[in-house]
Structure 1
């Protein structure tokens, strides 16, 4: 009986270690892809006409065209500075923030960005619910910075897609993440107040 209890205890400990290691392995894989993305973006920004491309970078799941469309979102009030990939896919969302409407033009229409809340640290949109009306969101694209002032923050139904639509002659930004329970969405809106070179 004592021997059987030892084996059960050993099995439970091993099973617990496996459960703990799965998310850590997943996070390690995502960190490798994020590092490859950062390296490739650095290479693309420094490349000249004689550059041979980005093929040598390991763990890089993006084309050169996709990399040239990456922008960066900065929200100083929550110390957020994250890359925004040009298209929303499950893989892209696991690495960075993403454009909900693919290949948008910063400063034009309703620039929409989605991001996971993340379960550790401050990556992704974990702190997005702490952004308040009046805070600034900066969108860095190429040699330009577009400054938006947050005008609203609300919890919406996941099917409320009208929040993503463009409105005539209005330049704004929409930032979306899940609520803690994942049932609803937190949506922030901001109006463009300045676009500079």
Structure 2
């Protein structure tokens, strides 16, 4: 009887250790992919001819790397890369463009990001961005500066928020609420380009 209790206790201990280690393993895998992305972007910025096959854990093509832009929100000290396509894998390592074939400074430029549990990742602090804050999108040549005009909590099915409005150049940033049941949407208008 005593041996059975020890065996059960040992099994529960091992199961608990595995359960605790799963998030750490997942984060370790994410960090590898993020580091690969950063390495690739650094190499691409230095040279036109880069052997991407030499970069371990890189899941993006040369054309996708060429389309990567950067989002900066000074009010929450955020600087993140934005990948051109929204996939689960891309969302795990960076922010993503929601709509395909978007053009910076034209229409409603839409960006999605996971909330993240760490303060320095993805859109963790997006709800803390105040109305009137600047949001800057950087591509290789220009900076597009938007001013946040609204924040709202919406249902995941409210996709109309992503639509272009006639003669309006906007930005929409989307993340989940903490419980994941709703979405937080920040919108801003294009103030100017530099």
Report if TM-score (shorter chain) is over 0.5. Answer: yes
C-alpha distance in 2 between matches for 1:166 and 1:57: 38
C-alpha distance in 1 between matches for 2:104 and 2:21: 39
Report the alpha carbon displacement of residue 116 of structure 1 after superposing the two structures with TM.
0.5
Find the counterpart in structure 2 of residue 92 from structure 1.
90
C-alpha distance in 1 between matches for 2:128 and 2:170: 19
C-alpha distance in 2 between matches for 1:23 and 1:102: 31
CA deviation digits over 1:162-195, x for unaligned, max 9? Answer: 1001112211100000111111100000111111
Structure 1 residues 119 and 140, CA gap change in structure 2 (3 angstroms): same
Q: Secondary structure at the match of 2:132?
A: coil
Aligned length: 194
Mapped pair 1:23 → 2:23: yes
| 1:167-186 matches, cutoff 5 A | 167-186=165-184
| RMSD after superposition | 1.1
Find the counterpart in structure 2 of residue 126 from structure 1.
124
Task: Please point out which of 128, 152, 155 is paired with 1:154.
Answer: 152
C-alpha distance in 2 between matches for 1:171 and 1:116: 24
CA deviation digits over 1:18-56, x for unaligned, max 9? Answer: 0011111111111101100001111111114xx254221
Length-normalised TM-score, structure 2: 0.96
Specify every segment of 5 or more residues in structure 1 that has no aligned partner in the other structure, as ranges: none
Mapped pair 1:140 → 2:154: no
- Kindly indicate whether the alpha-carbon contact (under 8 Å) linking 1:69 and 1:103 is maintained by their aligned counterparts in 2: no
C-alpha distance in 2 between matches for 1:162 and 1:113: 14
Kindly report structure 1 stretches of 4+ aligned residues shifted beyond 3 Å.
none
- Kindly indicate whether the alpha-carbon contact (under 8 Å) linking 1:53 and 1:64 is maintained by their aligned counterparts in 2: no
Report the alpha carbon displacement of residue 131 of structure 1 after superposing the two structures with TM.
0.8
Q: Secondary structure at the match of 1:106?
A: coil
